[in-house]
Amino acid sequence: MNEELDKLVSLMRNARHVVVFTGAGISTESGIPDFRGPGGVWEKFDPNEFHIDRFLASAASRRMYWLRSEAMYAQMTQARPNAGHKAIADMERLGILSAVITQNVDGLHQDAGVSPGRVVELHGTARHVACLSCGRRMTREEFQPLLSPEGDAPPCTCGGLMKPATISFGQMLPPEALERAGAATADCDLFLVIGSSLVVYPAAGFPLLAVERGAPLAIINHQETPQDAVATVVLRGSSGQVLPTVVGALAPGVQAAPFSRPT
């Protein structure tokens, strides 16, 4: 092991309330492109097309929104948890994981075996649709057959507009998710960032809150982040390589639970 990896193992060995914060980097290892990276969604689509005001503007703009969303959803349905996701689930089985705060909308943490109650989805989920008026939810799998080939979506039973339950530009992050993330961060004794550029706020404020409260900050990411300077440990690499090594050092011989996609 290198020095930084040894440091991370030591921090995790002494931790009892680890908060893991994940960004797009962990999901790219499962084949889901980073929105901002090369070949990502924003190279194919104008981000303004995903603004909530555009969705609300007209039936034509909503059709375009649904067609673009459908293309991304189809890609996500093919993705499976990778070794990094499974190592985080192993951390829960070892009894040291308090919460996973994620910027991702793909549900892969739950697929890997992390208890849904421990996952805080800051930017919503692509696996559900929700009514903008009454809040009624359906799974995307149930709703998908109701979309027309042209992208027309039926209204909610209350007459409101149905929309993917992801947070669009211009939408507020869910207050309940922010509250849960803040509480977990305030109580953690190690904050571990994985695959996030740490440039999107308010999400990127949670690692700084952890440091402010006295918890060590560890970052695993391929590129530099604005918060490297305040981190106790910084590792360059992929979660699928680093995390299994760390978890294996904590509990030699630990095996990820067999994966089966929820029905």
Instruction: State the CATH number of the domain containing residue 158.
Output: 3.30.1600.10
Mean pLDDT is lowest, of 9-13, 72-76, 199-203, for 72-76
The answer on pLDDT for 6 being more than 90 is yes
Helix runs in the chain, H state only: 3-13, 24-28, 41-44, 52-57, 59-77, 83-93, 108-112, 140-143, 175-187, 205-212, 239-250
Could you tell me if 26 and 151 lie in one domain?
A: no
Active site (annotated) includes residue 222: no
245 and 147 assigned to the same domain: no
Judge if 27 and 99 occupy the same domain.
yes
Which tens digit of pLDDT belongs to each residue from 184-240? 999 999 999 999 999 999 999 999 999 999 999 999 999 999 999 999 999 999 999
Check whether residue 240 and residue 135 sit in a common domain. Answer: no
Which structural domain, as residue segments, surrounds residue 26? 1-31+81-123+173-263
Please check whether residues 40 and 91 belong to one and the same domain.
no
Residue 180 shares a structural domain with residue 224 = yes
State the chain's mean pLDDT as an integer: 89
One domain for residues 5 and 17: yes
Same domain? 184 vs 112: yes
Q: Which residue has the tokens 């305030």?
A: 186
- Report residue 71's pLDDT band, with 50, 70 and 90 as the boundaries: confident
- Top-confidence residue, 136 or 1: 136
Single out the catalytic residue among 85, 109, 123, 128: 123
Residue 33 is predicted with a pLDDT of 81
pLDDT in tens, 173-182: 999 999 999 9
Say yes or no: 91 and 132 in one domain.
Answer: no
Q: Is the C-alpha dihedral spanning 44, 48, 51, 54 positive or negative?
A: negative
Task: Count how many domains the chain has.
Answer: 2
Asked if 204 and 250 sit in the same domain, the reply is: yes
Q: Give 78's contacts (C-beta < 8 A, 6+ positions apart).
A: 31
Rounded-to-integer distance, Cα 185 and Cα 98, Å: 9
Q: What is the pTM of this model?
A: 0.89
Regarding whether 212 and 102 lie in a shared domain, the answer is yes
Helices (H) and strands (E) in the chain, counts: 11, 9
Work out the pLDDT band at 262, boundaries 50, 70, 90.
very low
- Which tens digit of pLDDT belongs to each residue from 111-150? 999 999 999 999 999 999 999 999 999 999 999 999 999 9
From 166, 198, 232, give the residue that closes a domain.
Answer: 166
- CA angle centred on 163, ends 161 and 126, rounded to 5°: 165
Residues 74, 159 within the same domain: yes
Q: What is the pLDDT of residues 149-158, one digit of tens each?
A: 999 999 999 9
Residue 1 has pLDDT above 60, yes or no: no
